[in-house]
Amino acid sequence: MHAAETPTLITSVFWLLLSVVTLLYYLAARHHRSPRFLQRLPLFAAGSTLMMLAFSPPMMAWAHHDIRGHMVQHVLLGMFAPLAWVLASPMTLALRSLPARYARWSSNLLRHPFFFYLTHPITATLLNIGGMYLLYATPLYQASLNNLALHLMIHVHFILAGYLYCWSIAGCEPSFHPFSFKMRLTVLLFGIAAHSYLAKLMYINLWPSLPFYSADDLQTAAKIMYYGGDLAEALLAIVLFNGWLENNRKRLVRFSKRYHIEDAFRI
């Protein structure tokens, strides 16, 4: 396997990147003088902290030789940290903080149909949960254990795909390609089902089947995936429905103002 210094180097690089990103969020929020983003700084910092935890030396060591450690790391990187980040609306903050010329250029780019297809809830689910099927149901996981570059790519894939999935389903940031509540809810339903089905398959077939993992550990890992995923996706469902409630309330305010019946509702 790799030299002893490599994991430390990976940890340092990721910690540095995460600190820089969090600092940028703070500076942009302060520059923007918007309380909305400063209030959400703790959420963004929580997301970064969870990711730092996932890349911390003890976690890296645990994940390296134990499938349970790998699964805890995976749940943190792919589900909880991205969800915390999404709730902080960093894309909106970034677009608002860019100089006008670059902001215009970025928004023209984001309007491109490519981003319609990329940010579509179905694409996001295929990339995120489809990626999990690819990793655990094929020899890909075994290959990643002996190949550092592949291993890192898989980690980065799960961070990005997890972020895309949460962003696309939550729909709490303004988007050039908004998708309906019904579409996002339906996709979330199938996403949860596909995730828990994979966890059950892993439990039954003892995936990823490698000689140095015991059956007990593999089954515990599958349960961590099942229940950890449940918790994260229930939180995602709460975010999704919260957006629905906000939207309905805004509609009700407009309606009651038009007909001067504000007193009828406690709004």
Residues that bind another protein (CB under 8 A): 185, 188-194, 196-197, 200-201, 203-204, 219, 223, 226, 230, 233-234, 237-238, 241-242, 244-245, 248-249, 252, 264-267
Backbone angles phi, psi at 33, to 5 degrees: 55, 30
Contacts (Cβ under 8 Å, ≥6 apart) of 171: 178, 179, 181, 184, 240, 243
**Between residues 121 and 191, which has the closer beta carbon with respect to another protein?**
191
CA distances from 170 to 35, 140, 236, 245 (A): 22, 30, 7, 13
Q: How far is the CB of 215 from another protein (least distance, A)?
A: 13
Q: How far is the CB of 223 from another protein (least distance, A)?
A: 7
For the chain, the straight-line distance linking the first and the last C-alpha, in angstroms and rounded, comes to 61
**Between residues 19 and 180, which has the closer beta carbon with respect to another protein?**
180
Q: Is 168 exposed, middle or buried (0-12, 13-18, 19+ CB in 10 A)?
A: buried
CA distances from 189 to 12, 90, 133, 240 (A): 38, 26, 17, 12
CA angle 108, 251, 177 (to 5 degrees): 20
Q: How far is the CB of 193 from another protein (least distance, A)?
A: 4
* Cβ atoms of 218 and 206 closer than 8 Å: yes
Q: How far is the CB of 165 from another protein (least distance, A)?
A: 15
**Between residues 7 and 131, which has the closer beta carbon with respect to another protein?**
131
* Cβ atoms of 25 and 88 closer than 8 Å: yes
Return the beta strands (E) in the chain as ranges.
none
**Between residues 68 and 155, which has the closer beta carbon with respect to another protein?**
68
**Between residues 80 and 226, which has the closer beta carbon with respect to another protein?**
226
Return the beta strands (E) in 50-172 as ranges.
none
Q: How far is the CB of 241 from another protein (least distance, A)?
A: 4
**Between residues 114 and 241, which has the closer beta carbon with respect to another protein?**
241
Q: How far is the CB of 44 from another protein (least distance, A)?
A: 24
> Helices 35-54 & 5-32, crossing angle to 10 degrees?
180
**Between residues 95 and 137, which has the closer beta carbon with respect to another protein?**
137
Q: How far is the CB of 260 from another protein (least distance, A)?
A: 17
**Between residues 12 and 205, which has the closer beta carbon with respect to another protein?**
205
Q: How far is the CB of 189 from another protein (least distance, A)?
A: 5
